[in-house]
Each structure stands twice: as structure tokens, then as C-alpha cells.
């Protein structure tokens, strides 16, 4: 769960200061998740900015998150991307050839991680890929992933397990 910078006693649910603390803590991960969805740096920043704008409006109206705000923000971002692409199907872009890979604090370098995620994507369906990324890259629970993807926790477990099973059938993908 994201921690705000000031004590909870001085914040209220609709406090702009409380939202600003959540925004500051969530922004890097929100941008990275948006990049996973759209595969383009500027578009990802647009999605993240629109997510924050919508979340702030909901926050001020008293419709903020019940628990951890990050899955709530990811759900808003996912819905924005779906809304933008309802009438067209975006082709999967190769992460290793994209001109603007995300900044990575992972143990893998940016190019190696992008190539590895390309290989992962080729092994799984889109839903399996998204579920595996949310589980292992962002470390979300089944309930949180289900809220983001609009699935039940059991369906999330199914997508993750089938995605991992698909990866096990291709051991060359798992060799780093």
C-alpha cells in the first residue's frame, strides 16, 4: 500500500494534499503500466495523465479507493486505453524494437527485459500476458488483478497458471 507523506490525522478522504501524496507515490508505476498497455512513451504519459485527472475528480467527489489506490489507478488507466481503442485492434508492438522502452529499475537491463517480454507475449494470449505482467512485474494479488482486468480472482488464477504453463512449454523463453 502506498504511504502518504503526512500523518493520517491531518488528511481527509477528499483532501487534495492526500491525493497529491498518492499521486507522487504512484506516478512511476502508473506510467510503466500505461506503457505496458500502449507501448509508446508519449501515449503512456497521456494515459497516465488522464488517469490522474479522472482519479482526482473521483477523489474530490468522495469516490476514491477503498484500499490500496494503485489497483484503482490501474483500473482507470486500463479503462481509458480500452475506451480509446474500442473500434480498432492495436497490433502488438515489439518491445525490443520500440524507440522508447520504459525506464527500468529491475535487475535486467532495459533491452534484455524488452526482448524477454516480447518472447513472453509470443507464448501467451493477450489476457494471459497481462495477468502474468501484473502478477510478476507489479506483484498484485488475484483480487487486485481481477479488479484491474474485470475478472474474478479464479479467472485471474486461470490466466496466470495457463500463461505459466505456456512458458514451461517453451523453456528457451525462460533462459536469460
**Intervals of CATH 1.10.1740 along the chain:** 13-88
Q: What nine digits make up the cell of 105? A: 529499475
Query: Does residue 40 surpass a pLDDT of 80?
Result: yes
pTM beyond 0.75: no
Mean pLDDT value of segment 98-115: 52
Residue ranges matching CATH 1.10.10.10 in the chain:
108-176
Q: How far apart are CA 29 and CA 72, in angstroms?
A: 13
pLDDT of the residue at 83: 87
Residue 176 and residue 29: Cα distance in Å, rounded? 24
Return the exposure string of 148-164: e unless at least 16 CB atoms fall within 10 Å of the residue's CB, then b. Answer: bbebeeebbbebbebbb
Alpha helices in the chain (DSSP H): 16-38, 41-60, 69-84, 110-123, 126-132, 142-149, 153-168, 171-174
38-43: long-range pairs with CB below 8 Å, 24+: 38/81, 38/90, 39/92, 39/93, 39/95, 39/98, 40/93, 40/98, 40/100, 41/99, 41/100, 41/102, 42/100
Per-residue confidence (pLDDT) for residue 106, from 0 to 100: 46
Q: What is the pLDDT of residue 169?
A: 84
Q: What is the architecture of the domain spanning 108-176?
A: Orthogonal Bundle (1.10)
d(CA 13, CA 62): 7
User: Per mean pLDDT, which of 92-96, 112-116, 139-143, 166-170 is the most reliable?
Assistant: 139-143
Between 19-28, 73-82, 120-129, the lowest mean confidence (pLDDT) is in 120-129
What is the CATH topology of the domain spanning 13-88? Rna Polymerase Sigma Factor; Chain: A (1.10.1740)
Which range has the top average pLDDT, 31-45, 80-94, 118-132, 148-162? Answer: 148-162
Half-sphere exposure of 3 (CA within 13 A, CB side): 3
C-alpha cell of residue 138? 507489479
Q: What is the mean pLDDT of residues 138-161?
A: 93
Instruction: Give the per-residue pLDDT at 78.
Output: 93
**Which of 56-60, 66-70, 75-79, 86-90 has the lowest average pLDDT?**
86-90
> Residue 168 has what pLDDT?
83
Average pLDDT over residues 75-104: 66
Amino acid at each position: 500500500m502506498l504511504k502518504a507523506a503526512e500523518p493520517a490525522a491531518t488528511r481527509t478522504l477528499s483532501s487534495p494534499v492526500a491525493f497529491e501524496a498518492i499521486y507522487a507515490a504512484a506516478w512511476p508505476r502508473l506510467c510503466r503500466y500505461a506503457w505496458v498497455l500502449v507501448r509508446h512513451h508519449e501515449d503512456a504519459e497521456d494515459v497516465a495523465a488522464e488517469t490522474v485527472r479522472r482519479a482526482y475528480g473521483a477523489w474530490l467527489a468522495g469516490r476514491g479507493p477503498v484500499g490500496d489506490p494503485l489497483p484503482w489507478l490501474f483500473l482507470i488507466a486500463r479503462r481509458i486505453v480500452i475506451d480509446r481503442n474500442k473500434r480498432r485492434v492495436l497490433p502488438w508492438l515489439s518491445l525490443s524494437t520500440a524507440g522508447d522502452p520504459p525506464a527500468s529499475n529491475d535487475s535486467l537491463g532495459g533491452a534484455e527485459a524488452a526482448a524477454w517480454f516480447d518472447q513472453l507475449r509470443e507464448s501467451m494470449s493477450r489476457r494471459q500476458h497481462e495477468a502474468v505482467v501484473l502478477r510478476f512485474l507489479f506483484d498484485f494479488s488475484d483480487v487486485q488483478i481481477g479488479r484491474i482486468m474485470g475478472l474474478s480472482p479464479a479467472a485471474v488464477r486461470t490466466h496466470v497458471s495457463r500463461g505459466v504453463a505456456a512458458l514451461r512449454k517453451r523453456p528457451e523463453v525462460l533462459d536469460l
